[in-house]
Amino acid sequence: MNMSEAIGNVKSDVRLREWETQIMEMQASGLSVRKWCEVNGIKRKTFYYRLRKVRESCLNNLEPEQKIVPLRIPEAHSGSIKLEKGDLKISLPRDISTDTLLAVVNALC
């Protein structure tokens, strides 16, 4: 890889991280996509393009041995769902919505 390709890759990675931060800010804001984009001066079409690119990057960065494994929680278990990645440990309520759980898992990619 030559120097210009390496610089291009770094610029692309930085841009994706910025977009990822924007997406997380939108999700945390409690606003609709339409309202958040209006407040932040971003066209919805641009927001959805960035969201698609971040998701694609996440999927492309999965290692071949990584697989999505169904998670079964025993009915008698009333505690929480615990996720760990490296030093990061997250405890989520058992009744967390599927959409929220998927958003957390995607954020960990």
Over the stretch 21-62, which tens digit does the pLDDT of each residue have?
999 999 999 999 999 999 999 999 999 999 999 988 887 776
Over the stretch 56-100, which tens digit does the pLDDT of each residue have?
888 777 666 656 666 665 554 456 777 777 777 777 787 777 777
- Global pTM value: 0.54
- Structure confidence at residue 39 (pLDDT): 95
Residue labelled with tokens 């910025």: 18
CA distance 33 to 47: 8
The 3-state DSSP composition of the chain as helix, strand, coil percent (nearest 5) reads: 55, 10, 30
Mean pLDDT computed over 4-27:
87
Q: Where are the domains of the chain?
A: 1-63, 79-109
Report the 10 Å Cβ neighbour count for 47: 19
